[in-house]
């Protein structure tokens, strides 16, 4: 079930859609999600923005792998077509894809900020052998680098 906050939809989100948490079964033609420890109510576009952010990787981060506009709009159109099909909403318009693209990229910023702060916290509290301080720095730098561009989207 989902609702709205203003014009932005809210509902249950995974909140950690890195590629390792998305299982594609080609035999069954299905997609499943694992690792719901961060699952909770959130803006639905946060999951999509975070998913695109995660294309950059975690162990080796390369933000040039963030999908370009053409790829995102292609992906989002397929996503919206499935949502519209399941909810009998009719055809997906180009303006609907454009609006979602802007919303998703705004929330990709939120995901960078979220994971940057999360990693800073982990630096002080986690016993996991990972460079949380370095990861925090990378995510926060990317947030500030993209902020001007994507903040204008919403």
Residue 12: both structure tokens together: 């249950």
Contact between residue 50 and residue 17 where contact means Cβ atoms under 8 Å apart: yes
Q: Give Cβ neighbours of residue 129 (< 8 Å, ≥ 6 apart).
A: none
pLDDT for residue 152: 76
Q: What is the pLDDT of residue 61?
A: 93
pLDDT of residue 7: 73
Q: Return all residues near 94 (Cβ < 8 A) that are at least 6 apart.
A: none
pTM equals 0.88
Q: What pLDDT was estimated at residue 154?
A: 67
Spatial distance between the Cα atoms of 77 and 98, rounded to a whole number of angstroms: 9
Question: What is the per-residue DSSP string for 102-133?
Answer: HHHHHHHHHHHHHHHHHHHHHHHH--SSS-HH
Which residues in the chain show pLDDT less than 50?
4
Give CA 150 to chain center in angstroms. Answer: 14
Give me the pLDDT at residue 3, please. 56
Categorise residue 15: left if φ over 0, alpha if ψ from -120 to 50, beta otherwise: left
Give the DSSP per-residue string, 4-71. Answer: EETTEEEEEE-S---GGGEEEETTTTEEEE---TT-EEEEHHHHHHHHHHGGG-SSS--GGGS--HHH
- Strand-pairing partners, residue 4, are 9
């Amino acid at each position: 079930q989902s609702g709205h906050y203003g014009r932005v939809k809210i509902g249950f989100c995974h909140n950690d859609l890195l590629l390792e948490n998305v299982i594609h079964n080609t035999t069954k033609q299905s997609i499943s999600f694992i690792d719901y420890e961060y699952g909770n109510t959130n803006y639905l576009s946060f999951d999509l923005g975070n998913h695109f952010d995660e294309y950059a990787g975690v162990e080796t981060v390369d933000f040039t792998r963030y999908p370009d506009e053409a790829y995102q709009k292609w992906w989002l159109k397929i996503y919206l077509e499935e949502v519209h099909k399941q909810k009998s909403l009719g055809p997906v318009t180009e303006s609907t894809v454009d609006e979602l693209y802007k919303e998703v990229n705004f929330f990709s910023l939120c995901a960078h900020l979220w994971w940057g702060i999360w990693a800073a916290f982990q630096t002080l509290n986690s016993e996991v052998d990972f460079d949380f301080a370095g990861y925090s720095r990378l995510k926060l730098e990317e947030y500030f680098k993209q902020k001007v561009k994507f903040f204008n989207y919403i």
